[in-house]
Amino acid sequence: MLLRQGGRPLLLGREEEGGCSHEGLFVHRLDGFRSPLPRIRSDRMRSPGNWVHQYASWLEEAKEGPLHDARWHLRERHKFPAYVWWGDFMRDWPACHLDWCAGGWEGVVPLRPLSPTDAPRVKAYRKHAREDTLAPVLLWRVTPLDGWVILDGHDRAVAALAEGRTPPCVVLYRVPDDETWQRTADELTEDHEQRTELLLAGLAATTDTPTDTPTDTPTDTDTDTERRRAVLETEYEDTLASLPYDDAPTPTWPLPGGAPAWDDLAARAMFECPRD
């Protein structure tokens, strides 16, 4: 397995075979990872807005992010099984071992070395963690790892854990190109558009009625219509978001040069870190 960003190799993985057929994955990470998100400053954290929408916008603009032509889902997540962050968070660098033998793994793999808990930036983030204003860590679901990698927020994750808290997260994963899902979404969209048209048609009929109210002054009818339209929009968004999503496998592509190219990268990594 090889994970690259642009042309830079970031992670090498080799499956361990044994009594559990596939007992786990030996992983070696290399320097060079760059977050696809810009740095999030303290003042931005204190007036967050919609983090999911903001992260989606940044990912779409990123030149070296994980997105490719597929259906993607982003959502906030604040609760995980305890082992995800407190047992299977890979703190060692550059090598680690993902243990698949006990019914799966589902831990978190950092893509750069973690800062110490007393580093200046981590200390600043720890204050945000205590105040519940910490920006979410961005996790990407990578099915060949049977877990997550951190795309942004390594120091924020360290800060939250140092305060005894599970890091708040926004999780990114692929969803299947499901025709049933798309058909349901199209039907919901059509119904929403029809209901909105009926609402606006009722407003037009009302405004055609002669009135002494100046045309540039909002009326009670205008206010009520905007309120009802906002309710329709919220109902539509909530219903669409509630449609079930299943994880789709992370796609892989053949490595140019095949196994010899991977072996060459691994040999160089072994030369630099012989204990791995």
Summarised one tens digit per residue, pLDDT across range 85-125 is 999 999 999 999 998 886 678 899 999 999 999 999 999 99
Same domain as 138, residue 70: yes
- Per 3-state DSSP, the chain is made up of helix, strand and coil in percentages (nearest 5) of 40, 20, 40
Residue 221 domain boundaries: 179-241
**Residue 254 maps to a domain:** yes
**Based on the structure, what is the number of domains in the chain?**
2
Name the nearest CA neighbour of 15 among 150, 105, 110.
Answer: 105
**Does residue 118 sit in the same domain as residue 251?**
yes
User: Whole-model pTM?
Assistant: 0.75
In a domain, 45, yes or no: yes
d(CA 46, CA 198): 40
Q: Are residues 116 and 60 in the same domain?
A: yes
CA distance 80 to 86: 10
pLDDT tens-digit profile of 120-165? 999 999 999 999 999 999 999 999 998 999 999 999 999 999 999 9
Tokens, residue 38? 């810009």
Q: Does one domain contain both 24 and 154?
A: yes
